[in-house]
Amino acid sequence: MNFFSFSRAASVADALRDAGAGAKFVAGGTTLVDLMKLDVETPAVVIDINRLPLAEVGPAPEGGLRIGALARNSDVAHHPAVVRDYPVLAEALLSGASAQLRNMATTGGNLVQRTRCVYFRDTASACNKRVPGSGCAAIGGYNRNLAIVGTSEHCIASHPSDQNVALTALEATVQITGARGDRSVPIGEFYLLPGDTPERETVLEPGEMITSVTLPPPAPGARSTYLKLRDRASYEFALASAAVVATVTNGTLERVRIAMGGIGTKPWRNRDAELALEGKRVSAERFAAAAQIILSGVKPQPGNAFKVELGKRCLVHALKLVTAEA
């Protein structure tokens, strides 16, 4: 256990003033407190941001929907605009964790939740993400739930979130504020590959806060779905998942967005796979070809090689679901 100071921010400015290296915001606490109890996260300063006015879900000024960083996962999942216009997000959120956790978990916290790699969670194990340079115990160890794409020789941790896979397929934008001002980052640029710095997972700088996420207006006629595959029927992270947003006109795929979860070190999107489908007729062969583009040439571990085939089936089936005649 680690000693830390705790403050409760009354305003965003307040929070930013206290934030900096060694500080952590706490929102729902479902990742942070868990990892603090394991001595994996050892912040010197913990800033409670739950009182900040960032929980709103409503129309974005530039069109689309803005979701406040403190909006709870359950509130977002049941928000009428989300259910109507972005079912992929509602489905992804509801497939995650448990009802109790979703009531606490926030949009912002979910965006930066940490991996479920068992070695990352165990301070007695070598882990480059937790202690840079210490090695990666997952390689050659228990890695069934870890990533097969986006990996490096330094880290193969899978990105755990369902929400963020849906947000990636929806081409969301993350709004960030910090001592040096505000910025917006497309979600496709928000996450970093582990490379030789697996401890850096996003472009967030120390002390920066996520204030909201915006979703572009739904493409006319678009349909979307989230398919999550796992061992048991609920309350488990994805072994493979697929978020698909697609517009089909007269049997032709016009616009396709695909993101996959469970298989990658970040929410996994491959534009080539989408291009292989856009403008083409709906067909099982093309779906398989798109899956092949994403999953060919990947370097799995012995413990998670099955995810290559599982990921393919997941994507093919999600595409079938989304393109099925209503």
Partner 1 sequence: MLGQALPRIDGPYKVSGAAKYTSDRRVENMAYAVAVGSTVAAGRIARLDVSKALEVAGVIEVFGRGNIGKLYKPSPEAGMFDEARPPFADDAIRYYGQYVALVVAETFEAATAAAGLVEVSYREAEPNVALDLAPDDEPNEVSQRGDPAAAFDAAPVKIDQNYVTPAETHNPIELHATVAIYDGERFTIYETTQAVTNTRNVLSEILGVPREKVRIIMKFLGSGFGGKLWPWTHGTLAAAAARSLGRPVKLVVTRKQMFEAVGHRARTQQRVRMSAERDGTLTSLQHDAVNAAGMLDEYDENCGEATPYFYGTDNLRVTAAQTRRNIGSPTAMRGPGAVPGLFATESAYDELALALGMDPVALRLHNEPAQDQDLAIPFSSRHYTECLTLGAERFGWSQRTPEVGSMRRDGTILGWGMAGCSWIAARFGAEARVELHADGSARVLTGTQDIGTGTYTILAQYVADATGIPVERVVVEIGDTDLPPGPISGGSMVTASMVPAVLEAVRKAMKSAVGLAAKGDAAPFKGVPADQLVFADGRIGRKDSTAGAVPFADILQAASVAFVSGSGKAEGSFGQEHPKYSLHSYGAQFIEVGWQPEIARLRVHRIVTVVDAGRIINPRMARNQIEGALVMGVGMALFEEAHYDPRSGAPINSNLADYVMATHADAPHMDVTFLDYPDTKLNELGVRGVGEIGLAGVAPAITAAVYHATGARVRVLPVTIEKLLLGP
Ligand X SMILES: Cc1cc2nc3c(=O)[nH]c(=O)nc-3n(C[C@H](O)[C@H](O)[C@H](O)COP(=O)(O)OP(=O)(O)OC[C@H]3O[C@@H](n4cnc5c(N)ncnc54)[C@H](O)[C@@H]3O)c2cc1C
In the complex, least distance from residue 40 CB atom to ligand SF4, rounded to whole angstroms? 10
C-beta closer to partner 1: residue 137 or 213: 137
Residue of the chain from 55, 89, 105, 322 that contacts ligand X (CB under 6 A): 105
Amino acid at site 326: A
C-beta closer to ligand SF4: residue 12 or 40: 40
C-beta closer to ligand X: residue 28 or 198: 28
In the complex, least distance from residue 287 CB atom to ligand SF4, rounded to whole angstroms? 30
- Rounded Cα distance, 277 and 296, in Å: 17
Query: Does 40 help bind ligand X (rule: CB under 6 A)?
Result: no
Query: Does 110 help bind ligand X (rule: CB under 6 A)?
Result: yes
C-beta closer to ligand X: residue 2 or 296: 2
In the complex, least distance from residue 299 CB atom to ligand SF4, rounded to whole angstroms? 13
Query: Does 119 help bind ligand SF4 (rule: CB under 6 A)?
Result: yes
Which two tokens mark 169?
Answer: 């397929």
- Rounded Cα distance, 49 and 24, in Å: 10
Query: Does 68 help bind ligand X (rule: CB under 6 A)?
Result: no
C-beta closer to partner 1: residue 78 or 317: 317
Query: Does 295 help bind ligand X (rule: CB under 6 A)?
Result: no
- Rounded Cα distance, 292 and 277, in Å: 12
Q: Which contacts qualify for 195-204: CB closer than 8 Å, 24 or more apart? A: 195/152, 195/154, 196/152, 196/154, 197/132, 198/128, 198/129, 198/132, 198/136, 198/152, 198/154, 198/155, 198/157, 199/128, 199/129, 199/130, 199/132, 201/112, 201/114, 201/266, 202/111, 202/112, 204/112, 204/176
Question: How many residues in the shown chain lie near ligand X by CB under 6 A?
Answer: 30
Q: Taking CB under 6 A as the criterion, which residues in 206-245 touch ligand X?
A: 209-210, 237
C-beta closer to ligand SF4: residue 130 or 312: 130
Choices 97-105, 142-150, 188-196, 263-271; region in contact with ligand X by CB under 6 A = 97-105
- Residues whose CB is less than 8 angstroms from the CB of residue 128 and which lie 6 or more positions away in sequence, other chains included: 134, 135, 136, 154, 155, 194, 198, 199
Q: Evaluate whether 56 touches 15 at the Cβ level (below 8 Å).
A: no
Where do contacts with ligand SF4 occur on this chain (CB under 6 A)?
115, 117, 119-120, 127-129, 136-138, 146, 155-157, 198
